Structure 1
Amino acid sequence: MNASYLKFIEQAFIKYAKINTRSDENSASIPTTKGQIVLAKVIKDDLSKIGVKNMVYDEKDGYLVATLPANVAVAPKPLGFIAHLDTADFPAENIQPQIHPAYDGGDIILNEENDISLRVSDFPNLKNYRGQHLITSDGTTLLGADDKAGIAAAVTAIKYLNDHPAIKHGEVSFAFGPDEEIGLGAKRFDVEKFKVDFAYTLDNGLPGQLENETFNAAQAKIAIKGTAVHPGNAYGLMINAITLANQLVAALPVDEVPEKSRGREGFFLVTAFSATIAEADLNIIIRDFDKEAFAAKKKLLQQIVDHLNREFDEPRVFLKIQDQYHNIAETLKQHPYITELILQAYAKLGFKTVIHPFRGGTDGNALTEKGIPTPNLFNGGENFHGQYEFVTTEAMLQVSQTIITILEEHYQNNK
């Protein structure tokens, strides 16, 4: 891809990044925030200008799907790519992307007034981007590379395919969906309009990365009912919900927490805790790659609750556990070609392939459960979900090149 595409992808990303698409788990709207609708319509308009004719925006699930028809007589199975519209739970109003052309590899002052800097000592990977067009926020918001870098890359790949009709490919669909960060978007996605055999998410990570395994995930909501009385008359009467909540947390395995786990190790994480003597509410997320270990963690939490309740004549601690998503690894093992195609494309592009379990989940979890096996690739950014997030124009263009190479190799493998 020449310099014109470098300019195109940079301008597209800047435009998308400036739109506040922070999702809201407390909203009942679909999508949960209006900014996501705005962005979807901006993308649709951009694709229309490129020449894409087959597009559907569905108000019921908030997804924009664009499909390019096959341009060969004998077409391979249709495949898809997915990028999400929303950004994480971090300030996203009045985002001001800052371009640092020909980045020199040193510290960057993001906001002089507030003394906010992006320091190489804190983020040594910055040195890998010397000479590139580095893009940051102004330090007061996130940037939104997760996942607007993926969106910009997908739009640029579509433009390149439209500009170069000689590139042979089968049918390919691109989905731009809402509320990934809060785990709702893909669960609502009506995949009847996304007619693909398999797909790839263009989410967090670096060129050459492949994530074909994710956590199993569950959320536990715990309500504790105490009895509040005057402390002077509390003997034999008071049941302190705060004390029970602390006992519950203390009973969890002390080493099975995010700050002490890595690789394929799972964890418990208390994400919210509010309590008075009369009542307490806790949210705990449970994560593990192994299906049996995941089940054991859920069982352990139930046993802790049961043990606390045995102290009383009636239950005081109430637990609800809901599975959020499941590891995609087992499904992908049944479809080895999906991984082999990526490895083939990465080799052609000269990437050093890094396959590792993703310590989280993507839209691919819900899509895989809906019958569309979907591992994750990369979007080229770093330091997601905060003020130090960055991406380079060159890295985003590598995402676009990856999309095109996958389509070329897929055609070559099946012609």
Structure 2
Amino acid sequence: MIQKDLLIKRFVSYVTIDTQSDENSSTTPSTQEQWDLAHKLHQELLDMGLSEVSIDDNGYIMATLPATVDKPLPTIGFIAHYDTTPDFSGTNVNPQIIENYNGKDIVLNEEADIILSPDDFDELLDYKGQTLITTDGTTLLGADDKAGITEIMEAALYLKSHPEIEHGPIRIGFTPDEEIGRGAHKFDVEKFGAEWAYTMDGSQIGELEFENFNAAGVKVFVKGKSVHPGYAKGKMINSIHIAQDFISSLPRLETPEHTSGREGFFHLNGIHGDVEETVLEYILRDHDKEHFEARKEVLNNLAAEINSQYGLELISIEIKDQYFNMREKIEPVMHIVELAEKAMRAVDVEPIIKPIRGGTDGSQLSFMGLPCPNIFAGGHNFHGRFEYVPVESMIKATEVIIKIAELAAKK
């Protein structure tokens, strides 16, 4: 049904464009490079002959695949983001195509001895005999979320070419800056005009997600007092040591490397400082709203305790909520999850319904009035050199989009 070679060609054309986002930028998109892919996608949608194709001043792209029937049907949407994470290089991506994967080690980069091995990533064996697209070991791949974009484009092209398939109006949306938490910030839900939508931004084949972390970013500012070390007794306050006390006082097993499922965590993901001042950067995550708020209290109480020990206000904390668990917005409209589940089974994909240990544009969009569960895009090991995507998973994701459109017209 879906032409494999053309899908691969489209995907490669997207991932070889550098679209890393930058959390330190105040523009939207946050990097100029994202415009390169944004303009390409905009033109491709026009060339495909879709209607209401637009790109706004912030790089948000929208288009409509008109209904093929006259009866009133809900407008549904499919959304993906075109930026890649700033956590790992996305410059000069050089995809490798592994045909008929044999289940053994894949040498990504012989010179640097970088190997993608089922000894480290045992799920590779699930794709034996399939076609894998990997990195060359020096960059990420960008399947997060250019696989999702590819699947939406291929599904739109197929539906456009097969008007005999009955479906209602389909809206397409591509966003910048999802990887830095801003993908939905300037998304015009009213303009998009869908009753509900799906983000194509999950990982392994079968994933179907309608709950995610509650999330906050935290900065812990630790003040010290710098004095000549030869004359420092009773005078110096070393902010690094105080920061060390703060770090070691948090629950050691409530960190990303020790948690799974619905378990939340404190994640120290940045530290910089000197004797005079140290800044700790944390992210807080928890699926349960009460536990999420309790984690904030743990930080505030710890800061107050250390301050009281010194009799000085040495630690201050800045907490900014980033997004919330979309489950509360999806549960009243669970039929949209059931529709996706039914579509997966119709194309021989077994749904894997589980909470997202992260967030997507869909979590924010759900709170903006656009219920938006998340569907697999097919990739693995996002945000690093070991990222890969099975082509067959991308084809199945494309088929799921087509089947959702078809089933929605039969309700």
Aligned partner of 1:161 in structure 2 is: 159
Deviation of the 1:181 alpha carbon:
0.7
Aligned partner of 1:67 in structure 2 is: 64
1:84 to 81, 93, 115: 81
**SS at the partner of 2:321?**
strand
Using the size of structure 2 for normalisation, the TM-score is 0.97
- Paired with 2:6 and 2:290, the residues of 1 have a C-alpha distance of 48
- Paired with 2:392 and 2:206, the residues of 1 have a C-alpha distance of 14
Instruction: Tell me if the contact between 1:75 and 1:411 (Cα under 8 Å) persists in the aligned partners.
Output: no
Deviation of the 1:366 alpha carbon:
1.1
- Paired with 1:11 and 1:358, the residues of 2 have a C-alpha distance of 29
- Paired with 1:124 and 1:258, the residues of 2 have a C-alpha distance of 20
Deviation of the 1:312 alpha carbon:
4.2
Aligned partner of 1:408 in structure 2 is: 406
- Paired with 1:174 and 1:377, the residues of 2 have a C-alpha distance of 15
Q: Does 1:105 align with 2:64?
A: no
Instruction: Give CA-to-partner distance per residue, 1:286-311, whole Å, 9 cap, x none.
Output: 11111111111111111111112223
Aligned partner of 1:357 in structure 2 is: 355
Which amino acid in 2 is paired with 1:76? L
Aligned partner of 2:224 in structure 1 is: 226
Aligned partner of 1:332 in structure 2 is: 330
Aligned partner of 1:393 in structure 2 is: 391
**SS at the partner of 2:185?**
helix
Deviation of the 1:133 alpha carbon:
2.0
- Paired with 1:298 and 1:76, the residues of 2 have a C-alpha distance of 44
Instruction: Give CA-to-partner distance per residue, 1:181-216, whole Å, 9 cap, x none.
Output: 110121222223211111111113122211111001
Instruction: Tell me if the contact between 1:212 and 1:357 (Cα under 8 Å) persists in the aligned partners.
Output: yes
In structure 1, list runs of 5 or more residues that go unmatched: none
**SS at the partner of 2:408?**
helix
Which amino acid in 1 is paired with 2:296? K
Instruction: Give CA-to-partner distance per residue, 1:117-138, whole Å, 9 cap, x none.
Output: 2222222222222222211121
Instruction: Tell me if the contact between 1:204 and 1:382 (Cα under 8 Å) persists in the aligned partners.
Output: no
Deviation of the 1:48 alpha carbon:
2.1
Instruction: Tell me if the contact between 1:257 and 1:267 (Cα under 8 Å) persists in the aligned partners.
Output: yes
Deviation of the 1:346 alpha carbon:
1.6
- Paired with 1:110 and 1:258, the residues of 2 have a C-alpha distance of 27
**SS at the partner of 2:190?**
helix
**SS at the partner of 2:300?**
helix
Instruction: Tell me if the contact between 2:65 and 2:160 (Cα under 8 Å) persists in the aligned partners.
Output: no
Aligned partner of 2:318 in structure 1 is: 320
Aligned partner of 2:268 in structure 1 is: 270
1:124 to 122, 125, 131: 122
In structure 2, list runs of 5 or more residues that go unmatched: none
- Paired with 1:395 and 1:105, the residues of 2 have a C-alpha distance of 17
| Greater mean deviation of Cα atoms: 225-234 or 371-380 | 225-234
- Paired with 2:391 and 2:259, the residues of 1 have a C-alpha distance of 33
Instruction: Give CA-to-partner distance per residue, 1:50-73, whole Å, 9 cap, x none.
Output: 2223211011x3211111122211
Aligned partner of 1:22 in structure 2 is: 20
| Greater mean deviation of Cα atoms: 400-409 or 204-213 | 204-213
Instruction: Tell me if the contact between 2:349 and 2:396 (Cα under 8 Å) persists in the aligned partners.
Output: no
**SS at the partner of 1:366?**
helix
| Greater mean deviation of Cα atoms: 212-221 or 40-49 | 40-49
**SS at the partner of 1:54?**
strand
Instruction: Tell me if the contact between 2:81 and 2:176 (Cα under 8 Å) persists in the aligned partners.
Output: yes
Deviation of the 1:104 alpha carbon:
2.4
| Greater mean deviation of Cα atoms: 150-159 or 26-35 | 26-35
Instruction: Give CA-to-partner distance per residue, 1:240-278, whole Å, 9 cap, x none.
Output: 111211111122112211111111111101111112111
Q: Does 1:138 align with 2:117?
A: no
Instruction: Give CA-to-partner distance per residue, 1:314-351, whole Å, 9 cap, x none.
Output: 42211111111100111111111111111211221222
| Equivalences, count | 410
Instruction: Tell me if the contact between 2:189 and 2:369 (Cα under 8 Å) persists in the aligned partners.
Output: no
- Paired with 1:127 and 1:310, the residues of 2 have a C-alpha distance of 55
- CA RMSD, 1 decimal: 1.4
- Paired with 1:399 and 1:367, the residues of 2 have a C-alpha distance of 21
Q: Identity of aligned pairs, percent?
A: 45
| Greater mean deviation of Cα atoms: 161-170 or 335-344 | 335-344
Instruction: Tell me if the contact between 1:87 and 1:181 (Cα under 8 Å) persists in the aligned partners.
Output: yes
Aligned partner of 1:371 in structure 2 is: 369
